[in-house]
Amino acid sequence: MPLSLTLASLWGIIACLLGLAPRRIHWPAAYILIATGIPLLGYVTLQMGPWWGLALMAAGMSVLRWPMVHAGRWLRRRLDRGRMS
């Protein structure tokens, strides 16, 4: 297995274990997972190709769904505010 997929698998296992942790550390852990996951996603895409990159991006978004929901709500508020003025 290529190094990029090994690291991505390790990232996924760590993400699942952090999901079992107490709720007070979920958001700080999410920030760390995002900060490490973005370069890792680029590495997987570089080494394995865009289809693997898209698959891992979908997997990462499913693990980090609440930061994605909050980002979508923030973006929608920004776009609605721009339409109002």
Coil, strand or helix at 2? coil
Q: In the prediction, which pLDDT does 83 show?
A: 74
Q: What is the pLDDT confidence band of residue 34, given thresholds at 50, 70 and 90?
A: very high
Mean residue pLDDT across the chain:
90
Interatomic CA distance for residues 20 and 49, integer angstroms: 32
Q: What is the DSSP letter of 21?
A: S
Q: Which residue has the higher pLDDT, 70 or 53?
A: 53
Q: What is the pLDDT of residue 84?
A: 66
Query: Which candidate, 34, 32, 43, 35, places its Cα nearest to that of 6?
Result: 43
Identity of the residue numbered 13:
I
